[in-house]
Amino acid sequence: MEKVWLKRYPSNVPAEIDPDQYSSLVEMFEQSVMRFADQPAFINMGQVMTYRKLEERSRAFAAYLQNELGLRKGDRVALMMPNLLQYPIALFGILRAGMVVVNVNPLYTPRELEHQLNDSGAAAIVIVSNFAHTLEKVVYHTRVKHVILTRMGDQLAPVKATLVNFVVKYIKRLVPKYNLPDAISFRAALQRGRRLQYVKPEISNHDLAFLQYTGGTTGVAKGAMLTHRNMQANLVQAKAAYGSLLQVGHELVVTALPLYHIFALTVNCLLFIELGGSSLLITNPRDIPGMVKELARYPFTALTGVNTLFNALLNNEDFRELDFSSLRLSVGGGMSVQRSVAEKWESLTGKHLLEGYGLTECSPLVSGNPYDLKHYSGSIGLPVPSTDIRMVDDDGNDVPHGEAGELWVRGPQVMLGYWQRPEATDDILHDGWLATGDVVTMDDEGFLRIVDRKKDMILVSGFNVYPNEIEEVVSMNDKVLECAAIGVPSEASGEMVKICVVKKDPSLTREELLAHCRLHLTGYKVPKKIEFYDELPKSNVGKILRRKLREEQQVSQDNAA
């Protein structure tokens, strides 16, 4: 289709980018750490790690993986931790060794963790001790041969490290007991690695860099195969769209979103490394007062987050007293930015809250509002440079301009496919076009708006929740006859999970079902609403109709209003 959006780009945004600007993410990293050696790369709990230190430590970790553990190029290594200095060290160590990063949500239950480790075939895992008890339950049912264990404070200065580790374990009791007798400490791994020879492997742009897990169009978590070129292209696309707002070597981005999330990984980590910026890592973004105290210490220039984070900050009195004069870029992604939040943010900070759209399978950025937009538009913006889009009907035919159709995307950021799942790959990739499952319209300037979702995915605070997975867990309860999971609107999180249940045993209670779900599902996936039904709506072939349940929910809300 005609790229009408190119006429709306700000004059300094190019229509195309060079996705092969670097031969790999490793080359990009090596150039940045040389160029910005003595500048801060990451800050966490008051501790500054320079680019030079990041280079030395990641090289030591790469050497340890290669020599001590005997891992080879292409082996998968899992990372399971919140935002700590250990994360970028391990991340770039794995990539520099030519290996593949498997990001794992540290809040996963044993069931979720076991699936991801087995599906990816991870040979090693780097994990923070707070979650070691989860790993202990499943590690012997996986192919993981090496467990590298770190504690929250291990990359802080010695006195502070001791204090933080003591408080976390003994005062706050955030480290449940575990038994992993063969685990090696991350600190010991770095010490050994410093004495070993790092051998840089041949790494091409077409080599895998990440297995980034997502539910895809169904509930089974699949690894999106993201190459060095996919990720590099996307950071260059983001830089092309917004780089004129940023000054090379002079940026401090607030990283409250976890780096294991694709949005923060590409934008906060990779893009700002390329720009020579600093990243302020927030380990626990749910602690808003603690986060605001951190923000008060630093003249931050950029902040990314999801709508719920921006809303929480706006409702904090101390945050409203901060100095926003250095802020140049505010980006909301992962879920829809609400008009009220965007307008309050602009009123407080004087900066527009730019909304973007993406998905894991696109590394993730597909579109974003241009930086010269003056006010909230409710749009997900314009396709980023070097991105082709189509809007198609159910038969894959292009719809007339102005009509709604499923958004298909083609560009250098689109994944190779799903790891070892050719059928699932064929369902979503069509001759290079990725079917997003989101139904959109485009106006005459090229601005896109989401009007519906073909797939049943539920979006909770920027995280994908897939009904199939919720239903599978609920059905494990012997008192459940059948069930269906749907998303319902939530002011706090955009959407929340509702489970519609037909009982097999009349004694089943909401509390019992909730306890069952908490045992097997990460917190954001646990249903917030449970409703019991005599029967669920079905098609003539017996398929439960989630769409019908959503329609009934909407009617119920409209009547209540």
pLDDT band at 418 (very low <50, low <70, confident <90, very high): very high
Residue 513 to residue 533: CA distance in whole angstroms: 14
Q: For 15-50, how does the pLDDT look when each residue is reduced to its tens digit (9 = 90+)?
A: 999 999 999 999 999 999 999 999 999 999 999 999
Instruction: Provide, rounded to the nearest whole percent, the portion of the chain with pLDDT above 70.
Output: 97
**Does the pLDDT at position 220 exceed 90?**
no
Instruction: Provide, rounded to the nearest whole percent, the portion of the chain with pLDDT above 90.
Output: 81
Q: Which domains does the chain have, with CATH numbers?
A: 458-560 (3.30.300.30)
Q: What angle do CA 163, 273, 52 make, to 5 degrees?
A: 60
Supply the DSSP string of 444-512, one letter for each residue: TT--EEEEEESS--EEETTEEE-HHHHHHHHHTSTTEEEEEEEEEEETTTEEEEEEEEEESSTT--HHH
Q: Distance from CA of residue 422 to its chain's centroid? A: 23
Q: For 151-205, how does the pLDDT look when each residue is reduced to its tens digit (9 = 90+)?
A: 999 999 999 999 999 999 999 999 999 999 999 999 999 999 999 999 999 999 9
The per-residue pLDDT for 217 is 43
Q: For 95-113, how does the pLDDT look when each residue is reduced to its tens digit (9 = 90+)?
A: 999 999 999 999 899 999 9
The per-residue pLDDT for 259 is 96
> Helices 186-194 and 51-63 meet at what angle, rounded to 10?
90
Provide mean pLDDT across the span 408-435: 96
**Does the pLDDT at position 543 exceed 70?**
no
Q: For 245-264, how does the pLDDT look when each residue is reduced to its tens digit (9 = 90+)?
A: 999 999 999 999 999 999 99
User: Considering the entire predicted model, what is its pTM?
Assistant: 0.87
